[in-house]
Amino acid sequence: MDTVVLSLGGSILVRDEDNSQYIQDIAEMLVEASGTTRIFIVTGGGRIARYYIREGRALGAPESYLDEMGIEVTRLNARLLIAALGEHSNHTPPKDYKDAVLAAKHNRIVVMGGVSPGITTDAVSSILAERVRASRVVNATSVDGVYTADPVKEPSAERIPRMTYEGLIALVGAAPRKAGPNIVFDAAGASVLARARIPLYVVDGGDLANLRFALEGKAFEGTSVG
C-alpha cells in the first residue's frame, strides 16, 4: 500500500470561521483516502502558536523555548483533527518518529505535531516521509502553490507549476530561521526530501478535492517539487 505524509499547515487548520466544519470535512476525506493509502499527518502551529511565540519572545525567552511552546500548540492542533477522525486514527499525537511508526501498526491514519526545537513541522514531515518510505509529501497550506515571490506581499508573483528541490531551497533561503516563520515550505525539509528523492506537492488546503488528488498521486493544481 502507498504511504503518504501530509504536512497540514496550521494556517488552514486554525481558521477564523467554520473551523470545525472544515476539520470535519477534511477528516471525512482522509478516511475515504485511507482506504487505498496509508496517511501520516503532521499538523502545523498556525496563529495560535505564533501568539505564544510572539509573547514569549517579547518576554525574552530563548528561540528554542519558543519552539517548544509552538510544538505544544501543534500537538493541540493534532488533537483537534484526531477528535474528528475518532476511531480512524491514533488517539494521542506521537512525540517522535519511532512512536509514529509504532502507531501506524494499529492505525491507517496517524496524526502528530512537531518533534523538537529548531525543526519545523515541514521538516518533521520530510524526516517522517524518509523514515516510512513515503511515496510523496503533500504540503497543504494557505496558498495554492509555490510562487516566484510571496504572493501576499507581491501581487505580480506567479505560481511555479514544477520546480527542483534546489530551486525551492534557493527561493525560501537556506538561512537558519527564528521560531514560527511564514514560509511556504522550509529549506531543511526540502533538503531531506532531495536526499530521499521523495516528491513534494504543494497545494491549497482549502480545496479538498484537489488535496485528495495530490494525496493519491493523481494530477492536481499546485506546485510539484522533485
Residue with Cβ nearer ligand ATP (23 or 171) = 171
Nearest approach, Cβ of residue 53 and ligand ATP (Å): 10
Residue with Cβ nearer ligand ATP (108 or 191) = 191
Q: How far is CA 78 from CA 114, 124, 167, 221, in A?
A: 9, 14, 30, 26
Nearest approach, Cβ of residue 137 and ligand ATP (Å): 13
Residue with Cβ nearer ligand ATP (68 or 102) = 68
Nearest approach, Cβ of residue 90 and ligand ATP (Å): 20
Residue with Cβ nearer ligand ATP (2 or 150) = 150
Residue with Cβ nearer ligand ATP (108 or 199) = 199
Contacts with ligand ATP by CB under 6 A lie at 9-11, 44-46, 121, 141-143, 146-147, 149-152, 171, 182-184
Nearest approach, Cβ of residue 170 and ligand ATP (Å): 11
Nearest approach, Cβ of residue 37 and ligand ATP (Å): 21
Nearest approach, Cβ of residue 105 and ligand ATP (Å): 27
b vs e for 148-171, b when ≥16 Cβ sit within 10 Å of the residue's Cβ?
eeebeeeeeeeebeebebeebbeb
Residue with Cβ nearer ligand ATP (46 or 94) = 46
Please report where in the chains the cell 480512524 appears, as a residue.
88
